[in-house]
Structure 1
Amino acid sequence: MADECFRHPRLAAVYDALDPDRGDLDAYVRMAEEFGARRVLDIGCGTGVFALLLAGRGIEVVGVDPARASVEVARHKPGADRVRWIEGDAASLPALRVDLATMTANAAQEITGTRAWHRTLRGAYEALRPGGRLVFETRVPARRAWERWDRDRTYGVTEIPGVGAVESWCRLTQVRLPLVSFRWTYVFAADGEVLTSDSTLRFRERREVEADLAAHGYVVEEVRDAPDRTGLEYVFVARRPDDALSGAPAPGPR
């Protein structure tokens, strides 16, 4: 189930304003160009920022996300009619043959359950054409990013047109590796409403991810660094082999 910040209508409506710097997506846009992708599946598309960036470049995009409120925000943005929006997850997609599948930002880490993770990898594999690639990022566990998730480092007040001032901050609630949980609090000055959103991320080691990808038939071509967060992220580039050369795809664990 998606976190409250994605599925609560009031929080989904202000999500982009509270996280306006999406420079992290630049590397994914460049990879879409590098791989010559004309059809892209954006898994965990949220409010559609990345999907719309690609669509604006003439790329055919399918955006999928389990949070209805976020998908509704995406559907009402300028240019949204150029994207196929699906409320759901990678395990329940219609038949697709895309050149590139992506999970940007926290999308991969938010899939905490082993079965759900395996279903996602399998679903992405089946959506890719032979030779297509899956690209996603996950934080390097050794860098212990959660140690900076406290009120002092995350507190802010954002003035949002038509909404007013919104206070927000993060607080760590539990570290039980590989799972890390935290809570965001939001205070709307217009009426004093206080909303919270609890999240849990799974911090996977590089070898674990590589083994999971191999078990589902992928070839790990490369593990890159995130150019805007040097040393903090693993960016996996995995390819679905050409079926004519590799035989039938591996079924992978369920």
Structure 2
Amino acid sequence: MWHGEYRDPRLVEVSDAERIWGWEHDFFMRVLADRVTPRVLDLGCGTGRLAVAMAADGHEVTAVDPAPASLAAARRRSGAARVRWIEGSYEVLPAQSFDAAFMTGHVVQHLSDQEWTGALKALRDALVTDGRLIFDGQDPSGRPWAHWGRESTERPIVLADGSTVWAWTERSEPDGDVVPVAHHYRFEDGLELTSTATLRFRDETELRGALRAAGFRVDQVYGGWSREPPGLGPDGELIVIAVAEPRMLP
């Protein structure tokens, strides 16, 4: 799948214009402040909005993303010089180097089962004992994809130059909790671009099991940005805070 919102400079600009600072960013900054966390990893950092904010608060931030176009946009942000930017994915993470790791913006939904297992193992290796892993995904129990279509998702996105892009999402038939989607973009000059992805939704039980197998203890699972329990409130999220367990001696 192409994931054009991360790889095409035109769609990176569109995505960044739409995904402004919101409740989720405030939530992650509050979680970061809950404990002394000098060294922070932002895995799948995208255009770096959260990474730059965390660095501005005095944290030593390493931001990792596999998409050059996204990282180029991140490096242009005001304050980007405070962040260490790395092109790559979980395979490049240094061992025992972070007190907290974040995967935000529903990054986990873009990982296949093999990638998810590999990412959790790499993240456990990258975190110190008692370091925290914080990530978010949509709760599949609410079937968020059920109403994805042009009529319900079409919206205008205003870019920095004042031009407007019309965007909408369509999905193919789900295979259980695996949902193929296509994001469509129509620019003012008539250009139309389509980005495709396959999203993998994981429920709370599956998340807990995978984290336990990778060496994490689940501390909290929230259903929304006001820290509601799963299944309550309007957000339809599964926001997980997990703690790296001590390594077992051979």
Same fold (TM over 0.5): yes
- CA shift, 1:44, in A, is 0.8
Residue deviations 1:177-206 (CA, integer Å, cap 9, x gap): 2201211111111x3111111122111121
Corresponding residue for residue 6 of structure 2: 6
Partner of 2:202: 204
Structure 1, unmatched stretches of 5+, are: 249-254
Structure 2 match to 1:131: 130
Cα distance in 2 for partners of 1:204, 1:176 equals 13
Change (3 A) 1:80 1:234: same
Which of 213, 222, 235 is 1:215 aligned to? 213
1:1-254 equivalences under 5 Å are 3-111=3-111, 113-162=112-161, 164-189=163-188, 191-227=189-225, 230=234, 232-243=236-247, 246-247=248-249
Q: 1:251: which partner in 2?
A: none
Change (3 A) 1:2 1:93: farther
CA distance in 2: counterparts of 1:237 and 1:175, whole angstroms = 28
Of all paired residues, the percent bearing the same amino acid is 35
CA RMSD of superposed structures (Å): 1.8
Instruction: Tell me the CA shift for residue 225 of structure 1.
Output: 2.4
**Contact map agreement 1:135 1:236 (CA 8 A) in 2:** yes
* Segment drifting more, 222-231 vs 67-76: 222-231
Q: How many residues in Structure 1 have an aligned counterpart in Structure 2?
A: 244
Q: Distance in 2 between matches of 1:12 and 1:174?
A: 27
Kindly tell me: are residues 240 and 160 of structure 1, through their superposed partners in 2, closer, same or farther at Cα, counting changes over 3 Å?
A: same
One-letter amino acid of the structure 2 residue matched with residue 212 of structure 1: A
Q: Partners of 2:2 and 2:68 in 1: how far apart?
A: 9
C-alpha displacement of 1:230:
4.3
Q: 1:176 to 1:85 in 2, by over 3 A?
A: same
Match of 1:252? none
List per-residue Cα deviations over 1:67-94 (Å, max 9, x = no partner): 1111110011111111111111112223
In 2, distance between residues paired with 1:213 and 1:161? 40
Contact kept, 8 Å, 1:42 with 1:102, in 2: the verdict is yes
Q: Structure 2: 5+ residue runs without aligned partners?
A: 227-232
Q: Distance in 2 between matches of 1:2 and 1:52?
A: 26
2: CA distance, partners of 1:110 / 1:63? 18
SS of alignment partner, residue 176 of structure 1: coil
Equivalent residues of 1:9, 1:70 under 8 A apart: yes
